[in-house]
Amino acid sequence: MTCNVYSINSKTAEEFPYLIELQHAHMSILPTVLVAPISTVRSDAPPAIPKLCPSLYIDGIPHCVHIPMMATIRRSLLGAPLNPDKIELNRFEIQASVDLLISGF
């Protein structure tokens, strides 16, 4: 799992300003890539399901990865990834969330 994070420029950017790449780097030859949207953690929003929506930090600000919203997009739409020094994440939690969604445990 690559876990690169990308800024997005679309109509949904206000709610989901980032995407995380979930596909392994060995699959970079494919024209599409598996991603999940990332949103900021808002105090007025209902709490996310932690096991399906793991947290990460971008520039020290808490965000939520929405694993149930995974989808593929054209790799050419991603642009350049954010600097990894700006991102704090736990790959194992993200992988566990994907596993939970797919296999149920």
pLDDT digits (tens, 9 = 90+) for 13-28: 888 999 999 999 899 8
Contact, 70 vs 52, CB < 8 A? no
The enclosing domain of 31 has a CATH number of: 2.30.30.110
Could you tell me the pTM of the whole model? 0.90
Taking a C-beta distance cutoff of 8 angstroms, is the pair 6, 79 a contact? Answer: yes
Separation of alpha carbons 100 and 76, rounded Å:
29
Average pLDDT, the chain: 91
User: Which residues lie closer than 8 Å to 77 by C-beta, 6 or more apart?
Assistant: none
Supply the range of the domain harboring residue 86: 5-103
Domain count, the chain: 1
